[in-house]
Homo-oligomer: A and B are copies of this chain.
């Protein structure tokens, strides 16, 4: 299968590209390196050094004999995108290429507009590229569990069978997310569902939980194949950030009471979920949604898991929550789609957490400590980032 991975230079896009290449797909990567530029803007770097994309793909070729073709450009540039799709002729397009940080989107107006423009218009261009060039291309789109927010009912997989005043319908699951970033993915989901309906496109929307971990069997083969490991309060996901804070001797910063419950998933399961979705495409006209997580856990429980595992003293600090979100709420997610395709989940284990400690230890001198504290407050429409 020919698979084009959009955002294939990022935290998850890169290991996904390697996993697919390793399992026999012909892989191409599209990226505009925006994620690396956000680092420059924030004054931070990945904790683990990452190589330029061309070095990464060369190393992969040297080790495996497999080529990954690269295309450098922006999905917002329709001419570029159409050209790539025409040249690469993918069977599947995996779309990671969005601004993916909630705090980044909440810095101020310019960052919210950038996020929604970049994500919504890029995705819209992609839908048109598929519709015009080859509607049989299967779109595998990264959504987020954050699209749903925290409703007081079970979270189904994208659709909801409802009864109202004695009548029944199957509707899009109602969304009420907690940032302009998460909203951008809600907008994408609505646009994609419509494109499936009118053009017969086939799409799988993967509403992914919070990813943790940094290594996959492919990235471990050479340090130059490493993927990013973000620790800062803007791009670092919560469990990874706790691991890094523990090793650094910094308090684990829990926002509010830590009662916020989130779906989580191991990076090795993420890449396998993508493979499974690609290998089992949606039907023409189908807007298929999977909830891509393997378990749910409160932020407090995540902090406890890290502090219980770390062989030293760990302090947990409850900060005033900079976000606007419920920290005591119902949370029960249905996620049967990906297991039914064969996913064998890695549950969060001491082993995984322990395996991250030496990674952090090795690169601890690279940390900008001030970047660990949250500086983006949801209640303020304009945050001044002293980076």
Contact = CB atoms under 8 A, between A and B. Distances in A.
Nearest to A128: B109
A196 to B, nearest CB: 11
A40 interface: no
A120 B172 contact: no
11 contacts: A78-B113, A113-B124, A116-B191, A117-B117, A117-B121, A120-B187, A132-B381, A152-B169, A160-B164, A177-B190, A186-B187
Interface string A178-210: 111001001100110110011100000000000
A386 interface: no
A364 interface: no
A191 B199 contact: no
A80 interface: no
A131 interface: yes
Contacts of A87: none
A153 interface: yes
Contacts of A183: 187, 190-191, 194
Interface in A144-187: 151-154, 160, 162-165, 167-169, 171-180, 183, 186-187
B176 A379 contact: no
A183 B173 CA distance: 16
A116 B127 CA distance: 14
B124 A152 contact: no
Nearest to A170: B152
The 5 closest A-B pairs by CB, nearest first: A171-B174, A152-B169, A109-B128, A131-B381, A153-B164
Oligomeric state, in copies: 2
Contacts of A151: 169, 171
A4 to B, nearest CB: 18
Nearest to A171: B174
A162 B167 CA distance: 12
B167 A330 contact: yes
A296 interface: no
Contact of A124 (B116, B171, B172): B116
Nearest to A197: B324
Contacts of A379: 198-199
Given A113-B121, A116-B121, A198-B378, A168 B153 contact: yes
Interface string A93-114: 0000000000000001110110
A162 B153 contact: yes
A125 B113 contact: yes
A382 interface: yes
A85 to B, nearest CB: 13
A381 B199 contact: yes
Nearest to A194: B183
Given A112-B124, A187-B190, 5 more contacts: A153-B164, A153-B171, A172-B175, A177-B194, A180-B194
Contacts of A169: 151-153
A160 B167 CA distance: 14
Contacts of A121: 113, 116-117
**Most chain B CB atoms below 10 A, which of A108, A131, A173, A187:** A187
A168 B152 contact: yes
A381 B132 CA distance: 6
A326 to B, nearest CB: 11
Contacts of A165: 153-154
Nearest to A330: B167
B154 A167 contact: yes
A169 to B, nearest CB: 4
A154 B162 contact: no
